[in-house]
Structure 1
Amino acid sequence: MRKRIGGRVVGWGASAMVMVCAAAGCGEGRNVAFENEPEVARAVQPLLLMAVEQAKLFPSKPHPTGRFGLSTAIDGDTAAVGMQRSASPNGNVGAVYLFERSGATWGEVAELKAPGTVVYDEFGDAVALEGDRLAVGTPYIDADLPGAVFSYTRQGGAWSLEGKAVATDGLGSRKFGWNVVLSGNRLAVMDPDSGDVGAAYVFVFQGGTWTQEARLVPSGLGGEDHVSAIGLSGDTLVVAHGSGARAFTRVGSTWSEDAEIPTDIHLRAVALEGDTLALGGQDGCRIFSRVGGDWIQVADPWPPMHLGPDTFGETLALEGDRLLVGSTFSGLQEGGFPLFRAHTFRRSAGVWELESMVLPKEQSKDWQGAFGASVSLSGDTLLIGAPDETTPENEGAAYIFTLVPGLEKGTPCDKPTVCASGFCTDGVCCDTLCEGTCVACVGASKGDGIDGVCGPIAAGTDPDAECAEQAPKTCGTTGMCNGAGACEGPPAGATCDDGNACTEGDVCVGGECAGEPLSCAAPDACHLPGQCNTSTGVCEYALINPRDPECAVVPEASCGCGVPGSGSGMGELSGLMVLALAATAARRARPSRQASQRGTSQASNGS
């Protein structure tokens, strides 16, 4: 299976791996903001299985712009991985690499390229694998002609060319082969540019050749509403277009349009198996069941945690009651690096529930890693492509995972996906997320010796220094936990420090630390009331009239102050204001020297 980023279409693997997306309890929190925050497990339901990375696949002939993993398909112990550019004289020829599993080891067994020599063919843009047959979409195989689909078969362990499917109605385009699906002896091919709105072609393998059986176009399409994805299962074909899909059914070799299936998402993927249909897009997927001749929506899945752009549902895979949903971007790790994950879901009694979250052992630091751009599934084995993950000599990788029972509570862990509960706290699998102050999941911190069960940290201890950080400036804690999942608070009236140098007698009142303001009343008749210096906690006073000789700054001043003052604490502006006020008061209290002289002169003249 495959998904091309940037508006192209989804390609699938074998028909045995028909794609479906579903889950229970989804739909909340879809538009979570793009945040640079530490990632935490927030699943509200236990994970049933964990995905263990079994292998990381690379091509034997790497290419710095290869995009290995653009398409993937898996069936049993065989995996096919498409590569957009491979090692060749012009560097623009695609390739498909085949791997086989022996025990738990995967090894490359074949490298396939399109027959003939072309400059740019995109061989491997889409792949489908079913048993011993492989179909490879090749949109640009001919420079001026429509694309083609090549099929290969395995005999005696060797893969050889079987046939070539091309549009025979003269309406095929150079995008013929962007999506391919195998189902028995039939092959469905999507061409998004065929005619005016795109089309789905159906071929049947007869007499050693692929014969075009039908060209199907949903009625009423036009404008921007184009064919965007296809799904094939037995005698039913579903064609997605815009925000809807159209079902076609076959009787003998005749295909007829059956039903319109509307959705509220822009579709990029179709998954079909019997009477179950999944439609996926950039912002989710919807699940339908066929009842009689009608398709009824039965599920609206969404992952338990998802940050960033809504890419959940762009790639899908299903086998039986298990489905795999890819998401080309899920959020950010601590430090701002991108986080990619896939999810598996399981259907039980008609209800889909979260089964596992799938992450590589080491998350790529490359923003364009695109883990999940292609997904495929076979039994307990998952194959996921990351076509934009880069190394100095190669672009792209494919990951193999196996699903196994999750770790029990109390087992050491390094990430939530390995735990059956879905929670990894304090380095052990925990029964809950166990977030908050003074709670832990390890017995050593709780004091009860039980690992894996969230509980309060023992009273009088603070192993993570959660309360100690609050102790210096608040009355909410003594710096220790209280044994009930909170920090221990001191009794009312306990001394504390409110951090204000101009208060005194600080005590705890109602969980808050407060003190009485320091009094800076005038110490004598020579000084104004003072102000408290907030940096030193000392009252500073200014003289009422520093120039008055009666208040001279001398020991035992004549005014009886006994407290010398400089006025420095009032600042330059305050000192000037005091001087001005004192001078005005002095002038009002005493006759001026000129007035006294005038009075004396007048008295003399009068005499």
Structure 2
Amino acid sequence: MKSPILFATRSALIAFPALFCACGGGSSLTPGVSADPAATPPPVAANAPALALTLQNAKTFRFTWIDMAGETEYRLLEDPDGVSGYTSLTPQPLPADTTAHEHTVFLPARVNARYILQACKGGTCLDSAPVSVAGNLAQAIGFLKSDVSTADDEFGYSVALSSDGGTLAVGAPGESSAVTGIATQEPPSANDMPNSGVVYVFVRQGQRWQQQAFVKASTPTMSDRFGESLALSVTGDALAVGAPGRDAKGVVYTFTRSDGDWSERQMLAASVSGPNERFGHSLAMSAAGHVLMVGNPRESQFHNDSGAVYVFTHDGTQWNEYVTLKANFPWPYAGFGSSVSLNAAGDLLAVGAPNSDSMELSRGSAHVFMFGGMGWQEQAELKAPHAAIDLQFGTSAALSADGGTLAVGARGDASAATGVNGDPQDNSAFNSGAVHVFRRDGVNWPHQAYLKASNPGEDDQFGRAVSLSGDGNTLVVGAPYETSRADGLNGSQASTDSSAVGAAYIFQRKSLAWRQTAYVKAPNSGGQDTFGTGLALSANGQTLAVGASGEASSASGWNGSHATDNDNAQSGAIYLY
């Protein structure tokens, strides 16, 4: 028998109206078997367990309950989206006397999740009332700033994640210290080398992100913009950093990690270069870290700013320049190399040329190269299915791990269409942006989907950044100039008087059909934050990092105050989902 005091305590744990709602209950669920989500559950037994849920940084749901006398095990059940039905959350039941469990989640996939706790003895289980997630989940969104947050650093301009999401690299190309080399923490320094740039490496330790390295070039100079582009290997142990402003030509630095310690390995430059180029503007690395692509959209060998991509291979000791790739038909000012993406094997490459056009109308193109017996050969030139000026198709590009899916951003798309496969001819939303998805079929690349934001607005630049999960079924799109002031997940999408707030959009593919599944905002949205400038989705699709290089709060380090003082303009921040 349960005492009235204990019963009251359990009842209080269920009722948590600020974040959650108790939605009935049942005692007929079996772990591993989905319940009928449309069925009305029977009333909760008077002696049933009581489950409470709190949100924790980062990306963590914490379940707690009061231990029940006589139970032999507990079972947590999850209905991840509120409609799929319940299955077991843990591979094995939780031991008797357990009173808490933490569950790390991909937040955008859990906005409607429901949970039930079963207290079991032998073959008999009592079910708690379901606890449902509600609200914008802002409390569970990780918030990361540099330890020494300084105005104009642009922390979050570029972002890279290891495959498992456990290693995070963040570029701050506007950082201005004259520090050289690598340290575990940022050393004190005067800001006397403007825009020299820095990269921060963080590793996940439990629920928090710990800074592992403060990475500067060994020979930094003013306006290097070190950190403007990044690439990580699948394990996170190999890192490439672009410094496209170095000497008005650009260089790339490579680093490796061994037993948690980082060291600089090599500085790479184009074998032939001219003035005012941007070698290192974009980067892509194979999963094993043995192939590196370097974009230089202002390379001018045949035509001004026609662009090039440089292929480097690692022989086990050092990086060697293998070949320089150009479009089969390079156009002046095409910007070939503005974006690059590699498959995991490193033998399939996508290159964006957003200003490519025979009439110089910036319609743009994307080029697919494949490595085979004849070396690197262009396999396909892709364009948006609809012709329009200033599309800037090729602004961004992302390949799936197997190279079977390609997403291409067109930040200049002007259609006011919404969602998937709308009308592209309505050009009433200038620079609202779009993303096109292609699916490889042998050597052909048929167009699969035309994606727009659910709330397209003029100058949002949806498609400025894109990232795909390894299987190609989850796509994240950045729109850094979107104007809603909503916070967290799936808030109001209405435009406001603020500018350049920024947003990210998550699309998922199921049975070859794409649909938008989440609208992602910072927990402290603000004007000029440019949330979505940089973003990265881990290959396993379970961690999303979004950069807001214009974020201006005075917070610092891990999970500081979501300050809205705006006293630290363009210091920048990273958000983890």
Q: Distance in 1 between matches of 2:496 and 2:298?
A: 43
**How far did 1:190 drift?**
0.3
Alignment partner of 1:293 is 2:438: no
Q: 2:157 aligns with which of 66, 70, 74?
A: 70
CA distance in 2, matches of 1:310, 1:69: 18
Q: Deviations over 1:318-355 (max 9, x none)?
A: 11222211111223447623453211122222222222
Partner of 2:545: 383
The answer to whether the 8 Å contact 2:409/2:436 transfers is yes
> Partner of 2:256: helix, strand, or coil?
strand
The one-character-per-residue Cα deviations of 1:272-304 (angstroms, maximum 9, x if unpaired) are: 221211110212011111112111001011222
Aligned to 1:266: 392
Partner of residue 102, structure 2: none
In structure 2, what residue type is equivalent to 1:251?
A: G
- CA drift at 1:163: 2.0
Report sequence identity in percent: 29
Distance in 1 between residues matched to 2:409 and 2:443, nearest whole Å: 21
Q: For residue 230 of structure 1, what is the amino acid of its counterpart?
A: V
SS in 1 for 2:440: strand
Query: Secondary structure at 1:91's aligned position in 2?
Result: coil
Which whole-Å CA distance do the structure 2 matches of 1:201 and 1:369 have between them? 33
Paired residues, what number? 354
**Does 1:113 pair with 2:225?**
no
Moved more, 284-293 or 86-95: 86-95
Residue in 2 that maps onto 1:503: none
Q: 1:206 aligns with which of 276, 295, 315?
A: 315
Quote the residue 1:178 is aligned against: 281
Amino acid aligned to 2:498: F
Question: Does the Cα contact within 8 Å between 2:243 and 2:281 map onto a contact in 1?
Answer: yes
**Rounded Cα–Cα distance in structure 2 between residues aligned with 1:329 and 1:119:** 28
| Aligned match of 2:575 | 400
Query: Bigger relative contact order, structure 1 or 2, given CA contacts below 8 A and separation 6+?
Result: 1
Question: Does the 8 A contact of 1:78 with 1:100 survive in 2?
Answer: yes
- Distance (Å, rounded) in 1 between the aligned partners of 2:477 and 2:211: 26
Q: Which amino acid aligns with 2:533?
A: A
Once residues 366 and 525 of structure 2 are traced to their aligned partners in structure 1, the CA distance between those partners, rounded to angstroms, is: 35
The answer on 1:219 being equivalent to 2:328 is yes
**TM-score normalized by the length of structure 2:** 0.58
In the alignment, the residues of structure 1 paired with residue 461 and residue 223 of structure 2 have an alpha-carbon distance, to the nearest angstrom, of: 29
Tell me the CA shift for residue 140 of structure 1.
2.6
User: Aligned pair in 2 of structure 1 residues 381, 398: CA closer, same or farther (>3 Å)?
Assistant: farther
**What is the letter of the counterpart of residue 236 of structure 1?**
L
CA distance in 1, matches of 2:266, 2:260: 18
* More helix, by proportion: 1
| Residues 569-605 of structure 1, C-alpha deviations (whole Å, 9 max, x = no match) | xxxxxxxxxxxxxxxxxxxxxxxxxxxxxxxxxxxxx
Q: Deviations over 1:518-537 (max 9, x none)?
A: xxxxxxxxxxxxxxxxxxxx
In the alignment, the residues of structure 2 paired with residue 169 and residue 187 of structure 1 have an alpha-carbon distance, to the nearest angstrom, of 18
Aligned partners of 1:168, 1:223: CA distance in 2, in Å?
A: 21
Pairing partner for 1:232 from 322, 342, 351 = 342
User: What is the rounded CA distance, in whole Å, between the counterparts of 2:396 and 2:551 in structure 1?
Assistant: 23
2:375 alignment counterpart: 254
Kept after mapping to 2: 8 A contact 1:164/1:210: no
Aligned residues of 1:381 and 1:400 also touching (Cα < 8 A): no
Q: Is the 8 A contact 1:81 1:398 kept in 2?
A: no
C-alpha deviation, 1:156, in angstroms = 1.1
Q: Which runs of 5+ in 1 are unaligned?
A: 1-45, 403-607
User: Which residue number corresponds to residue 144 of structure 2?
Assistant: 57
Offset, 1:133: 0.9
Aligned runs of 1:107-506 on 2, under 5 Å?
107-130=210-233, 131=235, 132-141=237-246, 143=247, 146-170=249-273, 174-183=277-286, 184=288, 185-195=290-300, 196=303, 197-227=306-336, 228-233=338-343, 234-241=346-353, 242=355, 243-252=364-373, 254-263=375-384, 264=386, 265-267=391-393, 268-273=395-400, 274-282=403-411, 283-319=433-469, 320=471, 321-333=473-485, 336-338=497-499, 339-364=501-526, 366=527, 368-378=528-538, 379-391=541-553, 392-393=567-568, 395-402=570-577
CA offsets 1:461-489 (integer angstroms, 9 cap, x no match): xxxxxxxxxxxxxxxxxxxxxxxxxxxxx
Larger Rg, first or second structure (1 or 2): 1
Residue 396 of structure 2 aligns with an amino acid whose one-letter code is A
Q: Aligned partners of 1:390 and 1:161: how far apart in 2?
A: 31
Give, as a single letter, the amino acid of the residue that structure 1 aligns with 2:367. R
Residue 80 of structure 1 is matched in structure 2 by 169
Please report how far the alpha carbon of residue 71 of structure 1 lies from its aligned counterpart in structure 2 after TM superposition: 0.7
Q: Classify the secondary structure of the residue corresponding to 1:292.
A: coil
Distance across 1 between alignment mates of 2:255 and 2:483: 39
Q: What is the deviation of 1:310?
A: 4.0
Q: Secondary structure at the match of 2:451?
A: coil
Of 197, 203, 206 in structure 2, the residue corresponding to residue 103 of structure 1 is 206
Change (3 A) 1:204 1:171: farther
Deviation at 1:170, TM superposition (A): 4.2
User: Cα offset for 1:48?
Assistant: 6.8
Q: Tell me by how many angstroms 1:220 deviates.
A: 1.9
Alignment check: 8 A CA contact 2:483 2:496 kept: no
Following the alignment from structure 1 to structure 2, what is the Cα–Cα distance between the partners of residues 335 and 292?
46
Gaps (5+ residues) in structure 2? Answer: 1-109, 114-135, 179-189, 356-363, 412-432, 486-494, 554-566
Residues 198 and 381 (structure 1), Cα distance of their counterparts in 2 relative to 1, 3 Å cut: same
**Quick one: distance in 2 between partners of 1:112 and 1:61?**
14
The CA distance in 1 between the partners of 2:330 and 2:137, in whole Å, is: 42
- The alpha carbon displacement at 1:167 in A equals 1.2
Residue 385 of structure 1 deviates from its aligned partner by 0.7
Q: How far apart in 1 are the matches of 2:376 and 2:267?
A: 22
The CA distance in 2 between the partners of 1:173 and 1:210, in whole Å, is: 24
Q: Cα gap change, 1:311/1:140 in structure 2, threshold over 3 Å: closer, same or farther? A: closer
The correspondence of residues 6-45 of structure 1 with structure 2, limited to 5 A, is none
Partner letter of residue 229 of structure 1?
A: S
C-alpha distance in 1 between matches for 2:274 and 2:447: 34
